[in-house]
Structure 1
């Protein structure tokens, strides 16, 4: 819930994106019909704030529906294209009646700074919206069915990216694994000695550790196309080391080509 707290200030500052996310949640709950019209699409749906991301997660919004809805969302104006905050406020401040200014200053002196800021910001946003309505190229409001028609496309894009990410992760994992297996063969005598030392402990945990190292060695020899060497080294190990049933069962279950003598 801590992550959601900034949403209140964003709403008070005139950011309508949380409200649109709430409307999308109604879609997820099957509360709307295909022919219903969406509300005005706020700017910046493609770049939600951290609090809005948390809100989308809390509402369990479908990521593909959100991406489809965001197609009609204008980008937020960058500071360099919209000018500084001061330059935006100046025309409005010049029109603000002196009595209203005194009223807000009085609120500041009374310790009601947040209330004064909220009222001033809302008044400015209302003025700014009215001034620019004719200049804005507002997106056409779509029917729910129109948004839905784009969901499959975004789902395919998302799934492709996720698949590519999984493949990249798997490639990195294989690369690390290959380096590790190569390092085992660079010190194969040490690796076999480590297995032998674990077997001497004759405990279940020691057998587990020895068997894990043995599996790694088997994979290393297989990668190097030296399977025969692995079988020979394993036979040498077993000729001089523990032949307890618990250890033999592990070898047989793994399918290693070694059978104990009757």
Structure 2
């Protein structure tokens, strides 16, 4: 099997200029290049450029997959979106890397050693950008869940030792939206580690009366100049930045209302998360076994109902099978054997197998010389000569 690599870049905040596109075209003569991005795949060789350099210079999002079980997501956000101290607890050596350029943070998630060979054997990379790029909006709003999931992927994958402490768990980790769930799938985060992590997450505040009252209290602390500054950003087409600043300020205010010891006491070690994940695994396996048993019971009930309906006009079924056998063709024999298999099941639940055997012998009196049919019946366990 040949190598396969897929590269997709997206320019979101600022379209590519003609000069930009010319530089990209010089790197690849057959890529799809538009003001909104760059898409290409390679079956021999690869991109003759550094994706990290392109992210610093041109693009806001990057998705990469390769059929040797590797994939990568990178998103670029303005430096003012986060402080270095906010990002540091989430960074790891390999799975979640974060670097700063003059104006941006480039946040890079990667999966290097997947064992899901079937996934990467058929996956061509298309579709991931559409599913994952909304995470950039989450980051611009100050949502830390994409970063925590990157850290968790590193912990679940064995990159971190048992003594490493988790970052503070962001609210809403147990309420993953489709883009966040897509990141879980992309990085193949262990479901039991995810379940363990969610036990430390609070819910995202709802718009109930109590929350509205708290919001009013917070807004009353704003000065007129601060509110004017936020409104100016919106009017200037920088709604994302305005929302990010407002959410960040609100999050800081909420944090100031909590007891000072809460944040530190909730941080768990990777070893503790693995212990909780082990317990979660037991519960998950039990639930899955119950669900499989339930589905099997429903399948059997549906099958039994179908067979009873079939047996309600059994003479018509025998006549149809006889007609298929009389065709003397391979397809006719195969249809006859399938019909006889269903009748055997039907007799088993409505009367008895011996009655089916007697009826089969009566039918085969007319077909005993059809060797191909008799062999198929023997292979299906319906006839022993």
TM bracket, shorter-chain basis: 0.7 to 0.9
Q: How does 1:20-59 map to 2 (within 5 A)?
A: 20-59=148-187
Equivalence for 1:14: 142
1:66 equivalenced with 2:194 (yes/no)? yes
* Offset of residue 18 of structure 1: 1.7
**CA distance in structure 1 between the aligned counterparts of 2:243 and 2:314, rounded to whole angstroms:** 72
Structure in which a larger fraction of residues adopt strand: 2
1:237 equivalenced with 2:363 (yes/no)? yes
**CA distance in structure 2 between the aligned counterparts of 1:156 and 1:119, rounded to whole angstroms:** 42
1:220 equivalenced with 2:346 (yes/no)? yes
Equivalence for 1:154: 280
CA deviation vs aligned residue, 1:118-138 (integer Å, no higher than 9, x gap): 2233233333323x1337844
**CA distance in structure 2 between the aligned counterparts of 1:116 and 1:74, rounded to whole angstroms:** 25
* Offset of residue 82 of structure 1: 4.3
**CA distance in structure 1 between the aligned counterparts of 2:235 and 2:229, rounded to whole angstroms:** 10
**CA distance in structure 2 between the aligned counterparts of 1:38 and 1:135, rounded to whole angstroms:** 18
**CA distance in structure 2 between the aligned counterparts of 1:181 and 1:61, rounded to whole angstroms:** 43
Q: Which runs of 5+ in 2 are unaligned?
A: 1-127
Equivalence for 1:76: 204
Contact 1:199 1:242 in 2 (8 A): no
CA deviation vs aligned residue, 1:50-86 (integer Å, no higher than 9, x gap): 22111111110000011112222223333326423xx
CA deviation vs aligned residue, 1:140-183 (integer Å, no higher than 9, x gap): 21111111112221111101111111111110110111112222
Tell me which of 250, 254, 258 is aligned to 1:133: 258
Contact 1:33 1:144 in 2 (8 A): yes
Structural RMSD (CA):
2.2
Q: Which runs of 5+ in 1 are unaligned?
A: none
Structure in which a larger fraction of residues adopt helix: 1
Tell me which of 180, 193, 204 is aligned to 2:319: 193
**CA distance in structure 2 between the aligned counterparts of 1:82 and 1:203, rounded to whole angstroms:** 76
Equivalence for 1:106: 232
Higher relative contact order (CA 8 A, sep 6+): 1
**CA distance in structure 2 between the aligned counterparts of 1:222 and 1:128, rounded to whole angstroms:** 67
- TM value normalised by structure 1: 0.87
- TM value normalised by structure 2: 0.61
**CA distance in structure 2 between the aligned counterparts of 1:73 and 1:213, rounded to whole angstroms:** 56
SS of the equivalent of 1:42 reads coil
Tell me which of 302, 305, 308 is aligned to 1:176: 302
Residues 110 and 208 of structure 1, relative CA distance in 2, 3 Å threshold:
same
Larger Rg, first or second structure (1 or 2):
1
Equivalence for 2:246: 120
Equivalence for 1:209: 335
- Count residues with an aligned counterpart: 256
